Amino acid sequence: MKIVAWIIVSLAVMTVVFVALRHFSRGISASTAAQILEDCLSGRAAPHDLDSLLNLKHADPRVERAKLECIRIERECTSTDGQAFCDERGRERVREIIAELRKS
């Protein structure tokens, strides 16, 4: 009887984990990505906000392209003051990404 209960509980836990992983593996939406980038430009973003864009794999190809471009911008357009995500040239590129993400 204990073995059957253990198997049932194990299956239930595995099901919950599987559903949670499928939900979170989809990444974020284009509108959420655009909002995160706007918040980064305005200085309102929390430190982990940009991580949710840059560190997840996104189901939406537009968001995935935006992520890859932001990684390039971070590498190529480093801010000289060390406070901002990128320099002005990079900020302009981020504004273009935001506009592209806002298109429906």
pLDDT of residue 22 exceeding 70: no
What lies within 8 Å, CB to CB, of 53 at 6+ separation is 28, 33, 36, 37, 63, 66, 67, 70
DSSP state of 45: -
Average pLDDT over residues 82-103: 90
Q: How confident is the model at residue 1 (pLDDT cuts 50, 70, 90)?
A: confident
Question: Could you report the per-residue pLDDT of 30-86, keeping only the tens digit for each?
Answer: 999 999 999 999 989 887 888 889 998 899 999 999 999 999 998 998 888 766 778
Distance between terminal CA atoms of the chain?
Answer: 55
Q: Which pLDDT band holds residue 104 (cuts at 50, 70, 90)?
A: low
Spans of all domains in the chain? 30-102
What pLDDT sits at residue 31? 95
Spatial distance between the Cα atoms of 41 and 79, rounded to a whole number of angstroms: 12
- Residue 60 φ then ψ, to 5°: -75, 120
pLDDT at 9: 59
Q: How far apart are CA 20 and CA 12, in angstroms?
A: 12
